[in-house]
């Protein structure tokens, strides 16, 4: 099988490419250029997609003896991931750019281009497993719970899973590093990238301020409507946030305060106590199924954060004006759930699908 191995320059994608070769596939390494002005060196372990990373990927490909190319998807990434990220925060929502990237870039733009050039599939270094089930290929959690990335892959549909390989899903990260060292890869000890790749310093609020400018507004008590302070942009907050609110705590009753809501239309950030945060029902839009959608009300596990706990729940697909939505009833109240986040549904270790939380 002719396979494109997506090579980020990190240890995971390097070992994934090597394993695809070992499995007998005809492999070509591809590094995705996702920034028009890539940094020369990574600023920290958070960033990726630097010129240094491209060089690391090329050196691994040379050692493996496979062709290597750089595909420029910077324009698509800027439009589908970066601009979407900005628009979502500006609308008072909290997006997950990794899910959007997997959906729009790695398993849409990359896979579409690979198929157009005559390749059969794409392989990545994600920690997840694909299992042949009775109704086709299924997406499952990785064996290493600390590295499991099935949550950010919950946007893949059955056709994309049929063209995907995740060779690392049956291995732990320490074993992957050991294997990389055995293969002679110089990046065996290279730090992992974390969080949002296009915000290498991890300061989302400052990054958004540079893009959107300051937009002063009010911090408002969610219960009384009293103005409690000012902010420089509602886009810099997310539901459940406690730090960095800029409140005069000397005037409070000693209870901690959190962001409980964001009114983007009024440019207001609503502030309240912890009891206002919990939710036990979610409604999801932009529904994506990793196979056949469930029928009726079904028992599921629901996960609302990439590294969050899976909560027992029931899910049911409903039709709203011709659009499929999913209602998820959680077995317990979960704090800090924000519109724009994704809920991923599981049946045991199998990923059923995902949806964007609307409320």
Phi/psi for 219 (5° steps) reads: -95, 120
CA–CA gap between residue 180 and residue 174 (Å, rounded): 10
Q: Which of 145, 267, 142 is nearest to 153 (CA)?
A: 142
Neighbouring C-beta atoms of residue 214, cutoff 10 Å: 10
Number of residues assigned to the chain: 359
Neighbouring C-beta atoms of residue 275, cutoff 10 Å: 11
Dihedral angle at the C-alpha atoms of 113, 115, 120, 126, nearest 10 degrees? 40
Query: Where in the sequence numbering do the catalytic residues fall?
Result: 101, 197
Hey, which bits of the chain come out as E strands?
A: 2-6, 26-33, 68-72, 121-123, 128-133, 136-141, 164-165, 217-221, 227-231, 258-263, 268-272, 279-289, 297-303, 311-320, 323-334, 342-347, 350-357
Which tokens go with 344? Answer: 């991923």
Helix (H, G, I), strand (E, B) or coil at 311: strand
Name the strands in the sheet holding 258-263, side by side, starting at the edge strand that comes first in the sequence.
227-231, 217-221, 268-272, 258-263
Q: Which of 291, 2, 269, 306 is nearest to 161 (CA)?
A: 291
Q: Which of 87, 89, 85, 82 is nearest to 233 (CA)?
A: 89
Helix (H, G, I), strand (E, B) or coil at 54: helix
CA–CA gap between residue 296 and residue 114 (Å, rounded): 37
């Amino acid at each position: 099988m002719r396979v494109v191995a997506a090579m980020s320059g990190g240890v995971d994608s390097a070992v994934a490419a090597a394993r695809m070769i070992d499995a007998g596939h005809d492999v070509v390494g591809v590094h995705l250029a996702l920034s028009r002005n890539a940094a020369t060196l990574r600023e920290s372990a958070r960033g990726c997609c630097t010129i240094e990373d491209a060089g690391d990927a090329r050196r691994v490909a040379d050692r493996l003896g496979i062709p290597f190319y750089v595909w420029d998807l910077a324009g698509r990434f800027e439009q589908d991931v970066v601009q979407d990220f900005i628009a979502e925060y500006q609308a008072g929502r909290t997006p997950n750019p990794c899910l959007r990237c997997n959906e729009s870039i790695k398993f849409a733009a990359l896979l579409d281009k690979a198929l157009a050039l005559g390749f059969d599939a794409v392989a990545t270094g994600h920690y997840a497993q694909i299992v042949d089930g009775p109704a086709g290929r299924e997406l499952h959690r990785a064996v290493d719970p600390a590295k499991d990335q099935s949550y950010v892959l919950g946007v893949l549909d059955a056709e994309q899973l049929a063209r995907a390989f995740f060779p690392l899903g049956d291995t732990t990260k320490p074993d992957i590093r050991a294997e990389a060292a055995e293969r002679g890869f110089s990046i065996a000890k290279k730090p992992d990238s974390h969080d949002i790749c296009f915000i290498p310093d991890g300061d989302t609020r400052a990054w958004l301020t540079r893009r959107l400018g300051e937009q002063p507004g009010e911090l408002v008590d969610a219960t009384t409507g009293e103005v409690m302070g000012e902010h420089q942009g509602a886009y810099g907050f997310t539901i459940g946030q406690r730090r960095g609110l800029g409140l005069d705590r000397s005037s409070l009753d000693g209870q901690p305060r959190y962001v409980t809501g964001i009114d983007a239309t009024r440019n207001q950030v609503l502030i309240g106590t912890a009891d206002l945060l919990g939710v036990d029902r979610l409604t999801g839009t932009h529904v994506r199924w990793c196979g056949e959608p469930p029928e009726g009300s079904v028992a599921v596990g629901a996960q609302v954060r990439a590294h969050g706990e899976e909560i027992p729940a029931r899910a049911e697909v409903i039709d709203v004006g011709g659009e499929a939505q999913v209602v998820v009833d959680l077995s317990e109240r979960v704090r800090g759930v924000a519109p724009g986040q994704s809920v991923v549904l599981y049946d045991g270790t199998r990923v059923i699908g995902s949806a964007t939380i609307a409320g």
